[in-house]
Structure 1
């Protein structure tokens, strides 16, 4: 059925070349191979939508076909869709669709069905360590979503105030549980919504942003708990975050974000902050220190092909997760600390999908850390109290592009399973993207990555690949 859907999507997209100019059809094909000294280094697999494996050497195949909206098309109704097939060969051979969706929009409002790569939150999109709550680290999951494809003006004929929102519900599949009447449920779900506001016109130098995102993993409440809520009842509780039986229904997580964007003559400056909330600690200001902070400097014009080395983007981020509302959790005093980010008292998988963190990959799962640091198998991660510095760079020399990602973290375990001392970890990735045969759409990519420290196994890897991409009009 999935193959039939893909063939139909591709055939319709090609026919649109003849019969319509509503949108643009984009393709990308890639083949790469990696040799690793042990496990795959962190930044070689993190924030890649689950497409890169984490163990040993491998070969990777990617085929991507998308029909995207044409921003210059005046038609009120348009449609888009996409499919991305990933194949891995190595210690474990897998093949799966990362993207597989179809969408349509009326003006700025879009309805999408299927799975697609997305990140949530005010942050840099290219070099970031990953948004705190929802990053690009996990494989996309199937969902139905209504959203705006861009910021929409609140006032008629004036874009001084604008908003952007999303609301979706998706499927997460079976889930193991370690609390309640059963040890496994046949189906779990994922609810997500976000709302962001912008102050400032598009032509203004300064734009200010503020908003929030709210996500809930839920399902099986009527089976896990005696007298538990039926699915329709539970949905009402998870959407509004209503308490039930002295707790929340499902696993809630989200961030409140603020940002400022300044457009200079030659450089743009973007400053942002994501503050996490989970069980009420933020409303009490008890975990105010926890969050992601970022500052990006980006060159406005990056298309200069002169034979000079140019730095185009510099990003600095600081992630802090040590506080978590403090070390006290007490119903009698109303003190609810020990937020235990990315773990959950019911669901074994915590804040993850298919074994990968939904949020920042710097809070890593059990199977990635060293054996002596692992904790109870019912916990997703043994390490959620940390602080980390992250540097991202993008540069160019003629038609060759360079990127660098580097992070250095100080890890403390969790409140329930503290590490015996501070565990330091450094992870680095350097990428070269070189044109082949003087053609823009054929590129050679070279990735050099390494991990050294005490959190992950020490490793180094080289990945070489070919990628071809372009538009079919």
Structure 2
């Protein structure tokens, strides 16, 4: 079984190599995992789940918009352009599972982009590489299929100093194992950036809503205590007034709404208010994400909660990235006018999850949503070839820690690529540790990120 997972990539690589264009990037990854502690499976887009041991193999292709590079200066940006991405992943332990974590097509007109499908992404101003991930949408779960219209890059408004990023999306959160089926997703965000002489100031908000859906009549008969949260036929409202409530957070009224929808808002509203400051000369980024449900947004009754982080980056030297973060969800508005219950909801009993994985920060789940976490992450590089990175998280509210150490080395193989080895461990009531070893390769436009000296050594095996 494990041999199959590795061998299926071999005929794909030479064929893909013949398809190079000026905008496509190909990547593949194959690995063996003795087990799956916390940081080996979290924020992996829902691909690595369970306890292990297992083998995994992935192949992806991404075609971005045409843009000039230092070796392809003849290319020109286009006003109208399109791109796509697709990835297939196979994991095998006792059984083999296949999943398509990414599959999308996108098109742009100027800076405005329209996309359709599954796409890896995060939401908010926070580090998504070595941090714990943005609070509301961290990349922990399988990407949600949706259609989105947005400005994905900073778009200048006033002489280049003021820029904005904004977008809206409609998605589908349906999954066979969920209690409430055919759930919809509403998503929007708005961020602004002011570029001062020495500091870049950023602020904005993101807003996600689970809404719509239905439960079966048989389930309602088995759980009569839940009947008050649904319509008599087991549905949740999707009419025009419900749609307006989802968009704006306004209350609804009428005989066709139950007491819960009328007293609260239609749907499960959540998101973060973000602020950040970046110092380009030093590479320092400070960020703060304040979580909210719709009522607490008005009074900030849970201001003691949130994700606070400091990130240091540089392009040269051994240490390239250092992240320090503190995450707290202990308060949740207790003692104030409004109280929170992060990632839980009286109607959407699966909580803020998709295919069994939390969509937001992996430290908060419907089963355990009051935590305090101290986290650090870092990346180091030697001679632009050997990489070492680590994550260490201490959950102070529960008294346990999770760590990860990953080493990357050039692979002296005909196919090239890189060897990757990792050691991960969890402490707590049960100590668990694991090792993994794998091989990965990117080629196509990804080679633009490789220095000429490194590319020369790879080509001539020196």
- TM bin (shorter chain): 0.7 to 0.9
In 1, distance between residues paired with 2:215 and 2:157? 41
Q: Residue 184 of structure 2 contacts residue 213 of structure 2 at CA under 8 Å; is this kept in 1?
A: no
- Secondary structure in 2 matching 1:87: strand
**TM-score normalised by the chain length of structure 2:** 0.82
* TM-superposed deviation, 1:213: 0.1
- Check if 1:217 corresponds to 2:210: yes
Distance of 1:402 and 1:13 partners within structure 2: 29
CA distance in 1, matches of 2:187, 2:63: 25
Give how far 1:438 is off: 8.2
Q: What is the distance in 1 between the residues matched to 2:126 and 2:334? A: 27
- 1:211 Cα deviation from its structure 2 partner: 0.2
The answer to whether the Cα contact below 8 Å between 2:183 and 2:214 also exists between their aligned partners in 1 is no
Q: What's 1:431 paired with?
A: 406
* Cα distance in 2 between the residues matched to 1:175 and 1:336: 33
The match for 2:293 among 278, 283, 286 is 278
Question: In structure 1, what is the equivalent of residue 444 of structure 2?
Answer: 471
1:56 to 52, 59, 71: 52
Partner residue, 2:379: 394
How many angstroms apart in 1 are the aligned matches of 2:144 and 2:42? 17
For residue 40 of structure 2, give the secondary structure of its aligned residue in structure 1.
helix
- In the superposition, the TM-score normalised over structure 1's length comes to 0.80
Which of 325, 340, 356 is 1:317 aligned to?
325
Corresponding position of 1:403: 389
* TM-fit CA distance, 1:283: 2.4
Report the Cα distance in structure 2 between the residues aligned to 1:242 and 1:89, rounded to whole angstroms. Answer: 47
Q: Which residue of 1 aligns with 2:144?
A: 141
Secondary structure at the aligned position of 2:34 is classed as strand
- Residues 282 and 288 in structure 1, CA contact (< 8 A), matched pair in contact too: no
Query: Whole-Å Cα distance in 2 between the matches of residues 195 and 232 of structure 1?
Result: 24
Match of 1:128 in 2: 131
Q: Alpha carbon RMSD of aligned pairs, Å?
A: 2.5
Deviations 1:26-57 (A, max 9, x none): 00011100112xxx200010011111122120
Distance 1:440 1:213, change over 3 A: farther
User: Is 2:212–2:238's contact at 8 Å kept on the other side of the alignment?
Assistant: no
- Encode CA deviations 1:33-85: one digit per residue, 9 max, x unaligned: 0112xxx2000100111111221200000001000123333310111100010
**1:229-378 alignment to 2 at 5 Å?**
229-244=237-252, 245-264=262-281, 267-299=282-314, 301-302=315-316, 310-326=318-334, 335-337=337-339, 339-364=340-365
> Structure 2: how far apart are the matches of 1:226 and 1:242?
23
Match of 1:41 among 25, 37, 42: 37
1:234 is paired with a residue of what secondary structure? helix
Answer with 229-238 or 89-98: which moved more.
Answer: 229-238
Supply the distance in 2 between the matched residues of 1:346 and 1:468 (Cα, whole angstroms). Answer: 44
Give how far 1:12 is off: 13
Q: Is the 8 A contact 1:55 1:91 kept in 2?
A: no
Q: Is the 8 A contact 1:175 1:349 kept in 2?
A: no
Secondary structure (helix, strand or coil) at the match of 1:283 reads helix
Structure 2 residue aligned with 1:159: 160
Q: C-alpha displacement at 1:108, in angstroms?
A: 0.6
Shift of 1:220: 2.8
Q: Which residue of 2 aligns with 1:87?
A: 90
Answer yes or no: is the 8 Å Cα contact 2:175–2:355 preserved in 1.
no
- Alpha-carbon displacement from aligned partner over 1:269-307 (angstroms, at most 9, x marks no partner): 0000000110322422320011000001111x23x6xxx
C-alpha deviation, 1:93, in angstroms: 2.4
1:260–1:271 CA contact under 8 A, matched in 2: yes
How far 1:166 moved relative to its partner?
1.4
Query: Hey, what does 2:259 align to over in structure 1?
Result: none
| 1:125, distance to aligned residue in structure 2 (A) | 2.5
- The 2-side partners of 1:348 and 1:222 are apart by 11
Q: Provide closer, same or farther for how the CA distance between residues 389 and 76 of structure 1 changes in structure 2, counting only shifts above 3 A.
A: same
Instruction: After TM superposition, give the deviation of residue 168 of structure 1 in Å.
Output: 0.4
- Give 3-state SS (helix, strand or coil) of 2:160's partner: strand
Give 1:236 deviation, angstroms. 2.0
Give 1:347 shift. 1.2
Structure 1 spans left out of the alignment, 5+ residues? 1-10, 178-183, 305-309, 329-334, 365-379, 412-422
What is the CA-CA distance between 1:100 and the residue it aligns to?
0.1
User: 5 Å matches for 1:432-471?
Assistant: 432-437=407-412, 442-454=417-429, 457-471=430-444
More helix by share: 2
Distance 1:313 1:469 in 2: 21
Normalized per residue, which structure has more strand?
A: 1
Please list every run of at least 4 consecutive aligned residues from structure 1 whose deviation after the TM superposition is greater than 4 angstroms.
11-16, 174-177, 438-441
Shift of 1:174: 4.6
**Aligned partners of 2:215 and 2:359: how far apart in 1?**
25
CA contact 1:221–1:234 (8 Å) conserved in 2: no
- Does residue 30 (structure 1) correspond to residue 37 (structure 2)? The answer is no
Aligned residues of 1:175 and 1:187 also touching (Cα < 8 A) = no
Is the 1:123–1:294 Cα contact (8 Å) retained in structure 2? Answer: yes
- Partners of 2:249 and 2:294 within 8 A in 1: no
SS of 1:236's partner is helix
2:116 matched to 1:113? yes
Q: 2:414, 2:79 → 1: CA distance?
A: 35
Give the SS at the match of 1:408: strand
